[in-house]
Amino acid sequence: MAPQPVVTGLSPKEGPPGTRVIIRGEFLGTRVQDLIGLKICGSDCLLSAEWKSPNKIIARTGPAKGKGDIIVTTLSGGVGTSTVQFRAYHETIGPLKESAVWIEESPSQNFAWGRRTLAQSGLTQEDPLGLSIEGNEQKIPEDLRDLFPDACGDLSQEHFSPSWFLLENHLATSFEDLKAGLAYLKRKVESQKEGQLSFLKSNAGSVIDQLDTLMNIRDKLQEDVKLHGNEQLNILEASIENSISESQKIFTDVLVRKEKADSTRSVLFALSRHKFLFCLPNSVDRRAKSGDYDIVVNDYSRAKNLFGKTEIPIFRKVLEEVDHRILSIRKQLHEKVVKMPQSVEQQKKLIKALTSLELQQSGTPIGDKLRNIDPAWDAIEARAKYLESTFRQTFEQHASKDSPGAQEKSKSRDPSQTPSRVNFCEELCDIAASQLPDLWRLGQLYFTGELRGPHDPKPGDFKRMVLTAIEKFCVYLRLAILIAADQRALRQTSGLSWPIGSASATHQFLPWIPQCLRYTRIAYASLISLDLPSEALDIIQKLIDEVRLFCFSIIFKRATDRCKKLGTHETWELGVEEYPGATLLPAALEALLIETLDEVQTVCMQPEAREGNLLEPQSDGQREVTQRLQEFLSAFSGVIEELAFHSHDEETPTHNVSQLLGFPNAQQPDSVAGSGGGVGLGSGTAAVTWEQRMLCCLANYAYCNKSFFQHLGEIFVRYGYPLPTLAIETARYTVNQLFTNLLEEYVEHKGDPLVGTIEPSMYLGRFQWDHEMEIGQLRPYAHECCDNLVGVYSEIYSISPALLRPILESIVQTISEELARLMSCVQRFSFTGAIQAHVDIRLLRDALEGYVNETAKNYFMEALEAINPPLNGEQKRKADEILERVKRNMRLQLLCFGVKEP
């Protein structure tokens, strides 16, 4: 029920019948049909009323008199009130005023002699006081009729009031002027009382003219008597009497015709009212079929007001027929209200019409036959059910295209064609963005009272309805987008599942996931503008966060797959200044990571309106970032490992070990170049040896462990991510393990052949340590061992000098262990043999001092202690002399081993 009408303004505030009045106020009706009553001073003015807006009505006053209220009655608000009043009066009608009624037109009598004078026009009437009315534009009292209820200011009227006249015409005239005017009026009256003689004296010229005229009339009369005789006056009198008789007949005939016209008009008006009633049953049916329900409501309300209390049987019978037709229309309206699809405006129109008809029939026997509990709530439920059914039909329609049978038929489908899952997401988001706002707006209209019926609203049920619709929307999107999610749990909770397609179909869908995220975000933005409760929006936000994480995962998995193929683009170009020996492969990984982070930032990681931060501490997003980065870096470590061992079975590794005594291996490739930025190992991949690849891979591992992986973490921080410490440390541990394994492989590859040549070279030519021999130089096995180590040293130094210590320490330890074993196997040394063995071992130990660890040092000591018998003073002195001479001769050869921190 709307508020009662209130009239707060009126213009003008007084007037005679038929005055055009502008009424202003509040709640004066919602439309033209809502205005069902208007009374001004107790007179019904509805027929002349013109509804303009809820705050304005224009009407004409009826035949009322006196002050009274303006009462507006509306269908929605009932009988209203008024804070202002209108004064109605009957205007005095003069001879020159247009009028639709008969007036007395006899002329007024002159003051002096009673002669007939012409009625003076109100426009040319002079002021009786002889004063000018200029300057008297001051405002007079608003209502002189309140002060003088039985008087007026017209000089020609019997109830003339001087006070009224003075207030109306001389409000600003001074008292002195008024006294002068009074004196003028007295003189004028005295002048009219001077008598006939005085009048004749003052008007002598006019009297003479009149006498001349009378003489002319007499002469003319005498001529007429001669021509027509003495009866012309009788003839004139008879003509005048005949004219009077005829005019009386005409006047009487006019009055009779006027009465007939009035009675005919009354009959036609009555017939018009009755015609409206008799035609109303067919009229409401016709209007209902054309959808003009507002006219149906208005006509039914009008008939109720006019004939609702009639006792005439025929009228009551017609009204009963109308009631049955309205009952049928109510049934049709209720069916249309719950019929979908339709717009909110159409539903609103139907609900208002249905509510109005129910209100008019409430409390009547015919109205009790059909009781619609709450049509607005029925419309809300119908729209919610239609939304849910639309979701399900769309899901089934698109999911059927991915069923095994449908996929068999569509094997020849163009790979560039949009997958069914993507089409489903787009259509579902369009449905949600268009129909969910309609459901919300309809609910708001219901709860604000615009569509509410006589029953209490159900806010809890409506909230649950909206939440259910949004949850269904999110469930369907999860089934279509999150293919890596727990589909079994979704199937158990929703009873739905998207058909499991082929691997190629799934792979084809993955690049479209960012587009699905965009569709979901567009729908989410349209729902945010509705001012939905946070509980409802949080459901969609959670889904969007899951899709964003999934999108992040897919992009990084794709980047990981690309990372696994980086080995095919390895050019073995040494371009890392921070760590000589490392190739441009880490730089390629960095470029790939930056490209991936840019894509991730653009597609999913940058939060939009009302989206959360995925990188909160201990969140799923941070765990997902850590996991994907670990996989990414692990794949890169695997690429390096594959490059290191890729050609192991295809190439014959060069051992760089001389097979002839005293001749170091001369098979060093000419393509080996010094380390430096942008320097390659050869013109092509085939020119790079397996050993060089191993060294480059070891350098890449060491570079990653030392600084590169930490640099990647700083890139993550630059993009707004927290430092992925766990992923970096895990990757560093992995590359450290792979470095150790690869180092063992390389050391085994280079050290075993080198150690294996010591014993054959030592006993070449049936050499025996217990025989006397010439001494003074180094034995061939020691020469060959030094030459082979120099070869290994040069190979490592040309690629990555930083690898010298870890590699050579292991090889030297193996050599020292072998020498200790061989020396311990000799039963007895001759005098010269002991000196020679002492020189050989000490030379190797002193030359490789920079690469001798504690274990190797112990082995060298063990080898020296194994010389039996131990050297005496003379032997030690001789051995020292020979050792110094040999070192001088081999200083260039041994120079590389003496470089500190190469």
Query: 3-class secondary structure for 43-54?
Result: EECCCCCEEEEC
Q: Tell me how far apart the alpha carbons of residues 558 and 857 are, in angstroms, rounded to a whole number.
A: 52
pLDDT mean over 878-901? 84
Say whether pLDDT at 117 is over 50.
Answer: no
How much of the chain exceeds pLDDT 70, in percent?
83
pLDDT at site 25: 93
- One-character DSSP codes across 65-129: -EEEEEEEEETTTEE-EESSEEEE-PPPP-TTS--SS----PPPBPSSS--B-PPPPTTTPPPTT
pLDDT at site 677: 42
Question: Which pair of tokens denotes residue 299?
Answer: 């006509």
Pairwise pLDDT comparison (732 vs 123), residue with the higher score: 732
**∠ CA(891), CA(895), CA(897), 5° rounding?**
130
Q: Tell me how far apart the alpha carbons of residues 365 and 384 are, in angstroms, rounded to a whole number.
A: 34
Pairwise pLDDT comparison (524 vs 307), residue with the higher score: 524
Considering all CA atoms of the chain, what is the largest pairwise distance in Å, rounded to the nearest integer? 210
In the block, tokens 């030690």 appear at 876
What's the distance, Cα to Cα, between the start and end of the chain in Å?
97
Q: What is the DSSP letter of 7?
A: E
pLDDT at site 51: 92
The verdict on whether omega for the bond into residue 869 sits within 30 degrees of 0, i.e. cis, is yes
Query: In 3D, which of 605, 833, 641 has the Cα closest to residue 736?
Result: 641
580 three-class SS: coil
Say whether pLDDT at 527 is over 70.
Answer: yes
Q: Tell me how far apart the alpha carbons of residues 50 and 60 are, in angstroms, rounded to a whole number.
A: 9
Say whether pLDDT at 868 is over 70.
Answer: yes
Q: Identify the weakest region by mean pLDDT among 110-119, 283-292, 604-613.
A: 110-119
pLDDT at site 26: 92
Query: In 3D, which of 811, 807, 818, 809 has the Cα closest to residue 761?
Result: 818
pLDDT at site 195: 61
Say whether pLDDT at 206 is over 50.
Answer: yes
Pairwise pLDDT comparison (637 vs 232), residue with the higher score: 637
* pLDDT per residue as tens digits for the range 377-395: 888 889 999 999 999 999 8
Q: CB neighbours (10 Å) of residue 383?
A: 24
* pLDDT per residue as tens digits for the range 1-20: 688 999 999 999 988 888 99
Say whether pLDDT at 863 is over 80.
Answer: yes
Q: Tell me how far apart the alpha carbons of residues 837 and 831 are, in angstroms, rounded to a whole number.
A: 10
Say whether pLDDT at 48 is over 60.
Answer: yes
* pLDDT per residue as tens digits for the range 141-160: 556 777 777 777 777 777 78
Using CA atoms in the order 247, 252, 253, 258, what is the torsion angle rounded to 10 degrees? 130
pLDDT mean over 393-413? 72
Say whether pLDDT at 433 is over 50.
Answer: yes
Provide the residue type at 725 as one letter: T
Q: Tell me how far apart the alpha carbons of residues 24 and 831 are, in angstroms, rounded to a whole number.
A: 139
Q: Tell me how far apart the alpha carbons of residues 452 and 376 are, in angstroms, rounded to a whole number.
A: 6
Does residue 157 contact residue 92 with C-beta atoms inside 8 Å? yes
Sign of CA dihedral 539, 541, 547, 549: negative
Say whether pLDDT at 862 is over 90.
Answer: yes
Does residue 902 contact residue 801 with C-beta atoms inside 8 Å? yes
* Length of the chain in terms of residues written: 902
> 747 vs 741, 743, 796, 815, CA distance in Å?
10, 6, 12, 12
Provide the residue type at 76 as one letter: S
Say whether pLDDT at 735 is over 50.
Answer: yes
DSSP H helices in 651-771 = 690-703, 709-718, 725-756, 758-762
Does residue 827 contact residue 770 with C-beta atoms inside 8 Å? yes
Query: In 3D, which of 87, 29, 88 has the Cα closest to residue 56?
Result: 29
Which segment, 196-205, 209-218, 610-619, is predicted with the most confidence on average? 209-218
**∠ CA(96), CA(60), CA(62), 5° rounding?**
80
Pairwise pLDDT comparison (504 vs 86), residue with the higher score: 86
Q: CB neighbours (10 Å) of residue 857?
A: 15
Cα 596 → chain centroid? 28
pLDDT at site 9: 93
Half-sphere exposure of 858 (CA within 13 A, CB side): 2
User: β-strand 6-11 against 20-26: which pairing, if any?
Assistant: antiparallel
- One-character DSSP codes across 750-793: HHHHHHHTHHHHHTTTS--TTS----SS--HHHHHHHHHHHHHH
pLDDT mean over 683-712? 83
532 three-class SS: coil
Question: Which pair of tokens denotes residue 619?
Answer: 């969140």
Number of H helices, E strands in the chain: 30, 13
pLDDT at site 665: 40
* Domain residue spans of the chain: 6-88, 533-648+689-734, 764-897
pLDDT at site 202: 74
Residue 417: in which H helix or E strand, if any? none
> Mean pLDDT, the chain, as a whole number?
81
Q: Identify the weakest region by mean pLDDT among 14-18, 105-109, 130-134.
A: 105-109
Q: Tell me how far apart the alpha carbons of residues 549 and 251 are, in angstroms, rounded to a whole number.
A: 101
Question: Which pair of tokens denotes residue 436?
Answer: 């969910």
How much of the chain exceeds pLDDT 90, in percent?
24
Cα 587 → chain centroid? 41
pLDDT at site 139: 47
Q: Tell me how far apart the alpha carbons of residues 151 and 162 are, in angstroms, rounded to a whole number.
A: 9
Which segment, 178-187, 404-413, 781-790, is predicted with the most confidence on average? 781-790
pLDDT at site 490: 67
Query: In 3D, which of 325, 324, 349 has the Cα closest to residue 336?
Result: 349
Say whether pLDDT at 660 is over 70.
Answer: no
Three-state SS string over 150-192 comes to: CCECCCCCCCECHHHHHHHHCCCCCHHHHHHHHHHHHHHHHHH
Environment class of residue 415 by beta-carbon count within 10 Å: exposed (0-12), middle (13-18) or buried (19+)? exposed
Provide the residue type at 358 as one letter: E
Say whether pLDDT at 100 is over 60.
Answer: no
Q: In which band, very low, low, confident or very high, does the pLDDT at 682 lie, cut at 50, 70 and 90? A: low
Contacts of 104 (CB under 8 A, 6+ apart): none
* pLDDT per residue as tens digits for the range 248-286: 889 888 888 888 888 888 777 766 767 777 888 888 888
Q: Which CATH superfamily is domain 6-88 in?
A: Immunoglobulins (2.60.40.10)
Q: Tell me how far apart the alpha carbons of residues 897 and 805 are, in angstroms, rounded to a whole number.
A: 11
Does residue 693 contact residue 572 with C-beta atoms inside 8 Å? yes
pLDDT mean over 809-838? 91
Contacts of 395 (CB under 8 A, 6+ apart): 424, 428, 476, 479, 480, 496
Q: In which band, very low, low, confident or very high, does the pLDDT at 499 lie, cut at 50, 70 and 90? A: confident
* pLDDT per residue as tens digits for the range 319-368: 888 888 888 888 888 888 888 888 888 888 888 888 888 888 776 777 66
Does residue 426 contact residue 520 with C-beta atoms inside 8 Å? no
What Rg value do the Cα atoms of the chain yield, rounded? 60
> 807 vs 668, 783, 799, 813, CA distance in Å?
19, 20, 13, 10
Question: Which pair of tokens denotes residue 525?
Answer: 């933005």
Q: Tell me how far apart the alpha carbons of residues 25 and 590 are, in angstroms, rounded to a whole number.
A: 75
Q: CB neighbours (10 Å) of residue 190?
A: 9
> 823 vs 77, 764, 816, 829, 862, CA distance in Å?
122, 16, 10, 10, 9
Sign of CA dihedral 770, 772, 773, 777: positive
